[in-house]
């Protein structure tokens, strides 16, 4: 039988011919190889009459790309509201920040319904659908209701919530229906799989063998597929831009500690800055100069909690710099904008250490990019939070509890004084782990697992 098309659905869709960014590049390559269709949100906000027009074709080759627009109400309720002010905090264990708003929940389901209708118009028998992330949890259920019985996979890029946090979500009772309408649920880590199994079992699903589950008349599967990066591509970019560090004009002997994160409260930035301040106050030799370069492009600035994190960070940067700076040295350099990917790769390579200290994170690709960008002969040291999904694979990093500034400060000291042979052996082992599960491995393994799965029974 001829292989059906791959149809990818994600909130964002690349608009350029050769897109950049880990996930987008991986999916782009998968589609380029097999052909298929990518459907996503254009990012444009339109009047309701225009949104009703449906899908717009934005590219035909090397695969078809279609976008849909959101109205202002949909953008507020679906994207800023339910997805990013309810699900995001819940899934990152921040129920204190979770907004409960029945209107936003309604709009979230309506957008999923509308998108399901658009997909149902283009899907053909034999096509395989691959839906990405928390924006589209109810999408398979909505598609099944429209009679779409194709294989539908889901990949959650963020952590699966702690089952004990779930009662904070008014729509939790619908979650088993949402999830079991997919054929395969891909999660980043074993910890996420265990949380998902516990939650579903406590809510009426039966665990069959090896990640297979049954809920009502549907069987589906849950497994972990840790996402990776295109390692060779990053190695190349870092080598080609090894002089990026010169832009920084560091003084001779000055050490560079890096941080690269979207400006998000899940990334543990205030705790990181406090830990860096603590390291500086306790460093063994006050002559040592270490600079923390934090690149933090803004994100979701219209969501209230994101304004707070920005303010908190500005305050703490001012405090640490005010206390520690010298006429010719600013200890924390905080850049709140996007840096070009190639320059970034070169900066990683110049870094003596990288702080990846999220309080919760699905995987964290920065950890993998930093390792890929190092010069194996003189590599920098990765300091990694226990709470990043990457911690399950990258055991040779210096592991820290991001809530404990003393522990992180000691890890910075350890990283900056680590002997060359130890840096090299840790780097070698980390390189091996990121190569084993790189982005091609991720796409192939996930799609192979999805294709082995028979379509769900009609309901």
- Where does this chain bind ligand GDG (CB under 6 A)? 22-23, 157-158, 227, 260, 262, 295, 297, 338-341, 344, 361-366, 369
State the minimum distance, in angstroms, from the CB of residue 371 to ligand GDG. Answer: 13
State the minimum distance, in angstroms, from the CB of residue 363 to ligand GDG. Answer: 3
Measured between alpha carbons, how far is 73 from 296 in angstroms, rounded to an integer? 28
In Å, how far from its chain's centre is CA 374?
A: 22
Measured between alpha carbons, how far is 230 from 368 in angstroms, rounded to an integer? 10
Give 328: exposed, middle or buried? Use CB within 10 Å, 0-12, 13-18, 19+: exposed
Q: In the complex with ligand GDG, which residue's Cβ is closer, 157 or 241?
A: 157
Measured between alpha carbons, how far is 198 from 204 in angstroms, rounded to an integer? 10
- By annotation, the residues acting in catalysis are 157, 361
Instruction: Record the tokens describing residue 175, joined without a space.
Output: 């979650």
Measured between alpha carbons, how far is residue 327 from residues 202, 321, 324 in Å? 60, 11, 10
Q: In the complex with ligand GDG, which residue's Cβ is closer, 69 or 230?
A: 230
State the minimum distance, in angstroms, from the CB of residue 337 to ligand GDG. Answer: 7
Q: In the complex with ligand GDG, which residue's Cβ is closer, 35 or 298?
A: 298
State the minimum distance, in angstroms, from the CB of residue 228 to ligand GDG. Answer: 9
Q: In the complex with ligand GDG, which residue's Cβ is closer, 25 or 207?
A: 25
Describe the strand order of the beta sheet including 398-400 as a list of residue ranges: 332-335, 290-295, 255-260, 353-356, 381-385, 398-400
Work out the number of other CB atoms within 10 angstroms of the CB of residue 197.
17
Instruction: Record the tokens describing residue 370, joined without a space.
Output: 């930093």
Cα three-residue angle 132-69-267, rounded to 5 degrees? 45
State the minimum distance, in angstroms, from the CB of residue 49 to ligand GDG. Answer: 34
Q: In the complex with ligand GDG, which residue's Cβ is closer, 9 or 227?
A: 227
Measured between alpha carbons, how far is residue 193 from residues 141, 219, 280, 407, 440 in Å? 21, 16, 39, 29, 22
DSSP characters for 255-287? EEEEEE--S-GGG-HHHHHHHHHHHHHH-S-TT
State the minimum distance, in angstroms, from the CB of residue 209 to ligand GDG. Answer: 28
Q: In the complex with ligand GDG, which residue's Cβ is closer, 9 or 142?
A: 9
Measured between alpha carbons, how far is residue 291 from residues 47, 65, 249, 381, 418 in Å? 48, 43, 11, 15, 17
Helix, strand, coil shares of the chain as percentages rounded to 5?
A: 50, 20, 30
Q: In the complex with ligand GDG, which residue's Cβ is closer, 37 or 363?
A: 363
State the minimum distance, in angstroms, from the CB of residue 323 to ligand GDG. Answer: 27
State the minimum distance, in angstroms, from the CB of residue 125 to ligand GDG. Answer: 30
Q: In the complex with ligand GDG, which residue's Cβ is closer, 50 or 340?
A: 340
Measured between alpha carbons, how far is 35 from 37 in angstroms, rounded to an integer? 7
Q: What is the CA radius of gyration of the chain?
A: 23
């Amino acid at each position: 039988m001829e292989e059906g098309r791959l149809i990818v659905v994600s909130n964002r869709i690349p608009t350029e011919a050769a897109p950049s960014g880990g996930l987008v590049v991986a999916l782009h390559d998968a589609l380029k190889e097999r052909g298929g269709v990518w459907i996503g949100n254009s990012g444009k906000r339109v009047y309701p009459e225009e949104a009703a027009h449906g899908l717009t074709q934005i590219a035909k080759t090397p695969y078809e790309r279609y976008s849909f627009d959101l109205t202002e109400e949909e953008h507020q309720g679906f994207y800023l509201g339910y997805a990013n002010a309810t699900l995001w905090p819940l899934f990152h264990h921040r129920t204190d920040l979770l907004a409960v708003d029945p209107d936003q929940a309604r709009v979230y389901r309506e957008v999923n319904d509308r998108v399901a209708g658009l997909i149902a118009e283009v899907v053909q028998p034999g096509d395989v659908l691959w839906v990405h992330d928390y924006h589209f949890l109810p999408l398979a259920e909505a598609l099944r209701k429209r009679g779409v019985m194709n294989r539908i996979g889901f990949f959650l890029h963020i952590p699966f919530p702690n089952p004990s946090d779930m009662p904070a979500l008014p729509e939790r009772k619908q979650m088993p229906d949402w999830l079991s309408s997919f054929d395969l649920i891909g999660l980043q880590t074993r910890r996420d799989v265990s949380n998902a199994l516990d939650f579903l079992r406590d809510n009426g699903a039966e665990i069959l063998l090896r990640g297979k589950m049954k809920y009502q008349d549907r069987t589906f599967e849950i497994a972990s597929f840790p996402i990776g990066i295109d390692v060779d591509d990053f190695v190349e970019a870092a080598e080609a831009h090894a002089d990026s560090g010169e832009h920084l004009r560091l003084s001779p002997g000055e050490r560079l500690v890096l941080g690269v994160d979207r400006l998000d409260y899940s990334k543990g930035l205030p705790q990181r800055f406090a830990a860096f301040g603590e390291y500086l106050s306790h460093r063994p030799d006050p002559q040592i100069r270490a600079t923390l370069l934090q690149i933090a492009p803004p994100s979701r600035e219209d969501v209230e909690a994101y304004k707070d994190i920005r303010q908190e960070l500005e305050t703490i940067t001012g405090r640490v710099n005010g206390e520690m700076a010298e006429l010719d040295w600013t200890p924390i350099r905080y850049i709140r904008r996007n840096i070009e990917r190639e320059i970034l790769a070169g900066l990683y390579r110049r870094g003596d250490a990288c702080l990846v200290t999220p309080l919760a994170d699905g995987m964290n690709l920065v950890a993998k990019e930093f390792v890929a960008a190092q010069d194996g002969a003189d590599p920098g040291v990765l300091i990694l939070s226990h709470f990043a999904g990457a911690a399950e694979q990258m055991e040779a990093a210096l592991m820290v509890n991001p809530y404990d500034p003393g522990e992180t400060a000691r890890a910075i000291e350890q990283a900056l004084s680590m002997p060359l042979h130890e840096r090299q052996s840790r780097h070698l082992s980390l390189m091996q782990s990121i190569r084993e599960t790189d982005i091609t491995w991720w796409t192939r393994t996930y799609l192979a697992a999805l294709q082995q799965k028979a379509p769900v029974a009609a309901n």
